Structure 1
Amino acid sequence: MSAMPSVINRFIDYYAELDNQPPSALAGLYDAQAALIDPFGEHRGLFAIQRYFTHLLTNVEHCRFVIDAPVCDGHRFALTWTMNWSHPRIAGGETLALPGCSIVDVANDRVVLQRDYYDAGEMIYEHLPLLGWAVRSVKRRVRS
């Protein structure tokens, strides 16, 4: 029997309440040599991933994911999600929604590679005073 559903369930449970999860809980989900890649960088090894999550969640008031049904193929699954989050210094602390997706490789009932895709501009840059104006202007020009 495949361990895939177990990993997927743990993954979904962890991210569904990310702001209530201690970084130490990542050890139950990620392999010691796992890699997590997203628009902000590449993090190799469980310790680096835990450090990254600790940094990301510093001062975040709320961060939870609504995750759609995964698609599985062998030792890989993919899922789309919406991250609902708020930070007191971004967008006046209002809750923001960010859509994205993750492609996750699994071995031995642990995540060994996670690649997240989302718009970093939509997440952060568009909400910063001067930089936000520039990013939104570029997006408008591309759309027209």
Structure 2
Amino acid sequence: MRNTARWAATLGLTAAAVCGPLVGGAAAAPHAAPSSLYAPSALVLTTGHGDTAATATPERAVTLNCAPTASGTHPAAALACAELRGVDGDFGALKARDDVWCTKLYNPVVVTVEGVWQGKRVSYERTFGNSCVKDALNSSVFAF
């Protein structure tokens, strides 16, 4: 019985000596601990007329936050976040609907996305032939 008590006391003191500084060190550095259980997903989406973002005149810009809940100035934030989760944040995977016919009039519209999606930096740019082609996407992400 005495050996069991000694072993328990020795193991307890060893654990306190080994683990104690780790716990105290983490508590002493409040910035080291994550502030949320969710990876950040905060985006700024813009649209404008022009061939590239560098030459386009921005017309609209919205914010879209998807973690922990959908918010921002995007008119359909919850739906846009759900659609982006469905394609794992791959904006290029957003495809056009088959039932929409657009003219071939070239009046380019460029959309951009800058920010963070699930903790990873995002920078996306896509030029559509005209507004109809942009609006034909089977998604509400760029519908603002």
TM-score by length of 2: 0.27
Larger relative strand fraction: 1
- TM-score (normalised: structure 1): 0.27
Look at both structures and tell me which one has the larger radius of gyration over its CA atoms.
2
